[in-house]
Amino acid sequence: MVHATPFLLVLSLAIVAPVFSTRKCVLTGRWINDLGSNMTIMAVNEKGEFLGSYHTAVTASGNEIKVSPLQGSQHRTDKNSQATFGFTVNWSFSDSVTVFTGQCFVDEEGKEVLKTMWLLRSHVDSIKDDWKATMVGINIFTRLR
Ligand code: BTN
């Protein structure tokens, strides 16, 4: 009977641990990235599609920043709690478009994090300038509460 306590402790950890490790990462909500940009993702529908808005903290355009619409989709999540996704931001204050692709993770502390890469396509007046029209980078988003 003396040995029952550690046994029960190990047993309860074995039961509870998988529950934490399979915690689902949910895209819906408000997020902030490493540049200080904010975005809001609305409900994800049954096809994995979603809409939202993006408030960038920075711009390559020199124009006044305005909140811009985003639309995207995530991979089906029935068997996958850390879904891959992509979304496009059609900037309302410049002629540019950014596409983001990434994965929604639950980190070791149980916090959701979006690890993304992006391509920002700027408008150029001539095909000769095409070579300099695309930027690439990464952004890491954490949930805003
Ligand atoms: C523009 O400058 O024409 C539009 C704004 C682009 C903002 C970029 S998109 C990738 C990077 N991540 C952000 O949150 N903002 C910048």
Q: Does position 21 have pLDDT exceeding 80, yes or no?
A: no
Atom of ligand 1 nearest to the CA of 33: 14
What is the structure's pLDDT at 17? 52
Centroid of ligand 1 to alpha carbon of 108 (angstroms): 29
Tens digits of per-residue pLDDT, 67-103? 999 999 999 876 779 999 999 999 999 999 999 999 9
Task: Check pocket membership of 138 for ligand 1, CB cut-off 6 A.
Answer: no
| Residue 29 backbone class (left: φ over 0; alpha: ψ -120 to 50; beta: rest) | left
Nearest atom in ligand 1 to 60's CA: 2
Which domains are seen in the chain, by residue range?
A: 29-143 (2.40.128.30)
Q: Which burial class, exposed, middle or buried, applies to 38 when counting CB atoms under 10 A from its CB (0-12, 13-18, 19+)?
A: middle
* Phi, psi for 142 (deg, rounded to 5): -120, 160
pTM of the model: 0.86
Nearest to 40, CA basis, from 64, 13, 68, 16: 68
What's the pLDDT score for residue 9?
Answer: 43
73 lines ligand 1 (CB under 6 A): no
Work out the mean pLDDT of the chain and round it to a whole number. 90
pLDDT at 105 over 70: yes
